[in-house]
């Protein structure tokens, strides 16, 4: 049996939710009270604002130019409809991605990200996307582990069948070293969306964070075969080789990652560290000097600079830049600090232990 759905263009969100509710009823999916409330309480939205929002969501926010275009569309959407919660939430997301991909300083982008996220929540307190974003920012920028945990669990309570909520929580769990939970959330993600879920990506992250380098090599080989143009697959393969004591084999993988990464400093830092570890210090120093020069006019992650100094054996400079990363609330610190093999030469230093203590990582 087919059904037709008609609605005023201002009610496009309501129409979407009516269709989703109908599908849920037809396939007999059990909805939570929160999901049912969202189906019946969809706000009106200006059609031009919604069109601008859609244009923003089609762009790749990880690319600087497309991120800037997305922000322009979202600001247009907000101007057209100042009550459009999804536009504020997406705008917050674009700012957060700029920090996560090291395109701009966390000092510049996390404050407007938080402002837009909290505005979105004021307009729609049941927004799963916004609660998930607030959880991400809580641990990536504020290092507020309790709020992150609470917000992830609340997101999953609101939207138990949201693949992205489980994926984000699993990612966070892996960074926190809660590997069993990370695996469970990755399995839930596959269960919810077996077609679009990327198990190799999830497994790579978990093996990276748990420093299971043998498994990381195996997974990353499959990943490079299935996603030959994805730089992180080669980066993780390089880490697997380097962590297994096969740094010479890691170098071409890092070089491929640099080629594909479109200026992501993580891949370049990994290559510089591997150069230093294999006696090619002049090449590592060349990368470092280029970064120091560029950092005078554009943003270079101080954490990544610290890793190159660590590889070159300059511990004092490495800690100087780690402190800069701490001062700017770099999301590189919570993600990398406890698992990154590039930090291994620094771990016995009291300054490193002090940094871990000040970040107040949960046990």
Which fold would CATH assign to domain 45-158?
Answer: 1.25.40
If pLDDT is split at 50, 70 and 90, which confidence band does 39 have?
very low
Find the farthest-apart pair of alpha carbons in the chain and give their distance in angstroms, rounded: 71
**Using CB atoms within 10 A of its CB, is residue 148 exposed (0-12), middle (13-18) or buried (19+)?**
buried
Query: CA 154 to CA 263: how far, in whole Å?
Result: 36
Indicate the burial class of 363 (C-beta count within 10 angstroms; 0-12, 13-18, 19 or more). exposed
pTM of the predicted structure, to 2 decimals = 0.86
- Domain boundaries of the chain, sorted by first residue: 45-158, 263-363
pLDDT per residue as tens digits for the range 50-85: 999 999 999 999 888 999 999 999 999 999 999 999
Confirm if 260 and 230 have CB atoms less than 8 A apart: yes
List C-alpha distances in Å: 170 to 7, 144, 159, 174, 185: 38, 17, 15, 6, 5
Token pair 């859609």: residue: 54
d(CA 38, CA 307): 46
Spatial distance between the Cα atoms of 106 and 184, rounded to a whole number of angstroms: 31
Residues 130-172: pLDDT tens digits?
A: 999 999 999 999 999 999 999 999 999 999 999 999 999 999 9
Q: Are 203 and 229 in contact (CB under 8 A)?
A: no
Using 50, 70 and 90 to split pLDDT, how confident is the model at 363?
Answer: confident
Residue 279 CB neighbour total at 10 angstroms: 9
Assess contact for 10 and 44: CB atoms under 8 A.
yes
Structural contact between residues 102 and 110, judged by C-beta atoms closer than 8 angstroms = no
The sign of the dihedral angle between the CA atoms of 221, 226, 229, 231 is negative
The tens digit of pLDDT for each residue in 181-214 reads 999 999 999 999 888 778 888 999 999 999 999 9
Nearest to 105 by CA among 358, 330, 357, 293: 330
| 22-33 residue pLDDT tens | 444 444 555 555
Length of the chain, please?
363
pLDDT band of 20, cuts 50, 70, 90: very low
In angstroms, the CA 112 to CA 110 distance is 6
Question: What gap in Å lies between CA 338 and CA 324, rounded to an integer?
Answer: 18
Of the candidates 132, 137, 149, the residue with the CA atom closest to the CA atom of residue 109: 137
């Amino acid at each position: 049996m087919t059904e037709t759905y008609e609605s005023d263009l201002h009610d496009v969100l309501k129409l979407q939710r009516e269709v989703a509710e109908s599908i849920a009823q037809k396939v007999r999916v059990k909805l939570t009270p929160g999901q049912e409330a969202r189906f019946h309480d969809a706000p009106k939205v200006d059609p031009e604002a919604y069109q601008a929002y859609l244009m923003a969501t089609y762009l790749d926010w990880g690319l600087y130019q497309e991120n800037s275009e997305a922000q322009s569309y979202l600001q247009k959407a907000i101007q057209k409809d100042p009550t459009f919660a999804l536009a504020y939430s997406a705008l917050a997301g674009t700012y957060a991605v700029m920090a996560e991909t090291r395109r701009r300083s966390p000092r510049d982008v996390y404050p407007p990200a938080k402002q837009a996220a909290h505005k979105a929540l004021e307009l729609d307190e049941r927004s799963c996307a916004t609660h998930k974003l607030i959880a991400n920012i809580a641990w990536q920028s504020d290092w507020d582990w309790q709020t992150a945990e609470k917000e992830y669990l609340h997101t999953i309570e609101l939207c138990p069948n949201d693949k992205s909520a489980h994926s984000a929580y699993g990612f966070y769990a892996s960074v926190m070293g809660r590997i069993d939970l990370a695996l469970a959330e990755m399995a839930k993600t596959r269960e919810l969306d077996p077609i679009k879920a990327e198990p190799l990506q999830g497994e790579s992250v978990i093996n990276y964070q748990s420093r299971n380098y043998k498994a990381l090599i195996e997974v990353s080989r499959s990943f490079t075969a299935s996603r030959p143009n994805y730089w992180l697959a080669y980066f993780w393969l390089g880490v697997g080789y380097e962590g297994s004591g096969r740094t010479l084999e890691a170098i071409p993988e890092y070089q491929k990652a640099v080629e594909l990464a479109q200026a992501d400093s993580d891949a370049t830092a990994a290559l510089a560290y591997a150069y230093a570890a294999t006696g090619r210090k002049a090449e590592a120093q060349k990368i470092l000097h280029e970064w120091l020069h560029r950092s005078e006019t554009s943003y270079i992650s101080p954490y990544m600079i610290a890793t190159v100094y660590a590889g070159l054996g300059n511990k004092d400079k490495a800690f100087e830049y780690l402190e800069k990363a701490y001062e700017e609330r770099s999301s590189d610190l919570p993600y990398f600090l406890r698992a990154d093999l590039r930090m291994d030469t620094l771990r016995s230093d009291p300054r490193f232990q002090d940094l871990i203590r000040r970040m107040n990582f949960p046990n």
